[in-house]
Amino acid sequence: MKVLVINAGSSSIKYQLYDMPRAEVLAKGFVERIGEPTSRLSHTCAGNSTTLEEAVPSHETAMELILKVLVKPGEGAVADLSEIGAVGHRVVHGGEEFTGSVKIDDRVLDSIERFAELAPLHNPHNLVGIRAAMRKLPGTAQVACFDTAFHTSIPKVAHMYALPFELYERHRVRRYGFHGTSHRYVARRAAAMIGRDKHDLNAITCHLGNGCSVAAVRKGRSVDTSMGFTPLEGLVMGTRAGDFDPAILFYLADKGYDLATLNGLCNKKSGLLGISGVSNDMRTLQKRAEEGNDRAALAIEIFCYRVRKYVGAYSAVLDGVDAVVFTGGIGENSSLVRELVCRDMTHLGIALDPKANAEAGGRESAVTVPDSRVQVLVIPTNEEQAIARDAFELVGGNGEPGTV
């Protein structure tokens, strides 16, 4: 069965076409700058890349274009759209309702719309992508895969804030967590790598990309995570502050900063960019730090210190840790970050192998010495594959969604 995976953002749609259950990528690409005169589709199939520059006024036309290129003789991946057995959609917020991926029906659409209040920057765009796909492929099953789903197993003790309880009851204020598909994927891969049943793995998974989060995984289920009611909480990120004293906001409001400015400060101007004043990009910061830029070096140190604090905290939360996993653009590629996070952690059973760490380079690999009690693993994430598997399992497979 062919499964099309769709990730619809505000001005872009990314797609991958999978052949399941082999999980082979037949074609992939993205439409960017939807709604602008300079929109563009980039498509890769069987090693050949093509680019199409034409005005794409809406997500609907973007979907049309994607489906057209997928069946284009010579460049496409299928002879006919009827070969696509399911479409899997990334959806950011599933609230407390969706504990796993689901086939989309009217009730699911309503819920995704309802949760748009909790994820105003994402759910509305996800929904537009789903509706466009439903119209263009009316007979094909559509599946939603939620970023929040893996974290619905987090118990009250970890997901409730110490705010008045009625804020939870009336306004659904609680920790939801994000990046769930990635944390789940790498946790399952980690179990496979160290020869454990996926329901028997205790791990701390660190997703370090532009957005960053850590999850504590007990017996294969998420029991805590660093992102909260929104993706702002937790680790230092490219442009987000992560944890800080919220009273700073009241103080700044007194000084005349308005809400929109404060929101922009915390989400767009903080993090690695805010500290360094140089860039939100870890590669650039590492280069500038090497060249002697002190604030770039400080930003990296603060970033790593925060990850380290969470690894320590989650070591206390879990009754024993089998593996610490690094994933995301930074986690997979920066040996420096892994080293700064994990150095001098033998008291927690973590003994990094400097050579293995330096050579890990974005492949699945263990980077601890053989007798390290806790294994440190580098695992490239693959959220699209996880979505394709869920869609396949829900529509045609025999297993359960969430099997990697």
| Region label for 140, one of left (φ > 0), alpha (ψ between -120 and 50) or beta (otherwise) | beta
Query: Which residue from 86, 110, 88, 79 is spatially nearest to 97, judged by alpha carbons?
Result: 110
State the catalytic residues: 147
User: Does 274 sit near ligand ADP (CB under 6 A)?
Assistant: no
DSSP letter (8 states) at residue 176: -
CB of 39 to ligand ADP, least distance (A): 20
- Establish whether 282 is an annotated binding residue: yes
Quick count: other Cβ atoms within 10 Å of Cβ 62?
27
Chain position carrying tokens 């994607």: 66
Considering only 61, 99, 210, 230, the residue that binds ligand ADP (CB under 6 A) is 210
Tell me which stretch binds ligand ADP (CB under 6 A): 29-37, 103-111, 183-191, 279-287. 279-287
CB of 123 to ligand ADP, least distance (A): 18
- Closest to ligand ADP by CB, 28 or 68: 28
Considering only 209, 231, 274, 401, the residue that binds ligand ADP (CB under 6 A) is 209
Residues 38 and 36: their CA atoms lie apart, in Å, by: 5
The H or E element containing residue 31 is strand 24-32
Residues 87 and 387: their CA atoms lie apart, in Å, by: 9
Structure tokens at 189: 């891969």
Tell me which stretch binds ligand ADP (CB under 6 A): 2-10, 329-337, 340-348, 395-403. 329-337
Structure tokens at 182: 């990635």
- Closest to ligand ADP by CB, 211 or 220: 211
- Establish whether 362 is an annotated binding residue: no
Burial class for 11, CB neighbours closer than 10 Å (0-12, 13-18, 19+): middle
- Establish whether 242 is an annotated binding residue: no
- Closest to ligand ADP by CB, 209 or 234: 209
Residues 235-264 that bind ligand ADP (CB under 6 A): 238
Tell me which stretch binds ligand ADP (CB under 6 A): 20-28, 37-45, 254-262, 323-331. 323-331
Considering only 329, 351, 378, 395, the residue that binds ligand ADP (CB under 6 A) is 329
Quick count: other Cβ atoms within 10 Å of Cβ 330?
28
User: By the 8 A CB rule, do 133 and 6 touch?
Assistant: yes
User: Does 177 sit near ligand ADP (CB under 6 A)?
Assistant: no
Tell me which stretch binds ligand ADP (CB under 6 A): 2-10, 95-103, 326-334, 382-390. 326-334
User: By the 8 A CB rule, do 67 and 50 touch?
Assistant: no
DSSP letter (8 states) at residue 90: E
User: Does 281 sit near ligand ADP (CB under 6 A)?
Assistant: yes
Considering only 333, 368, 382, 385, the residue that binds ligand ADP (CB under 6 A) is 333
CB of 362 to ligand ADP, least distance (A): 8
Considering only 108, 127, 325, 330, the residue that binds ligand ADP (CB under 6 A) is 330
Per DSSP (E only), the strands in 150-264 are 203-208, 212-218, 221-225
The H or E element containing residue 254 is helix 247-254
User: By the 8 A CB rule, do 389 and 23 touch?
Assistant: yes
C-alpha distances out from residue 208 to 45, 175, 231, 234, 381, Å: 29, 19, 13, 12, 10
Query: Which residue from 328, 306, 308, 106 is spatially nearest to 208, judged by alpha carbons?
Result: 328
Tell me which stretch binds ligand ADP (CB under 6 A): 128-136, 205-213, 226-234, 350-358. 205-213
Considering only 56, 84, 282, 324, the residue that binds ligand ADP (CB under 6 A) is 282
Mask of contacts with ligand ADP, 46-65, x by CB under 6 A? --------------------
β-partners of residue 326 are 206, 378
Residues 328 and 90: their CA atoms lie apart, in Å, by: 17
The size of the interface with ligand ADP (CB under 6 A), counted in residues, is 13
- Closest to ligand ADP by CB, 238 or 242: 238
Mask of contacts with ligand ADP, 9-48, x by CB under 6 A? ----------------------------------------
User: Does 334 sit near ligand ADP (CB under 6 A)?
Assistant: yes
- Establish whether 283 is an annotated binding residue: yes
Q: Which residues are annotated as a binding site?
A: 7, 14, 90, 207-211, 281-283, 329-333, 383
The footprint of ligand ADP (CB under 6 A) covers 209-211, 238, 281-283, 286, 328-330, 333-334
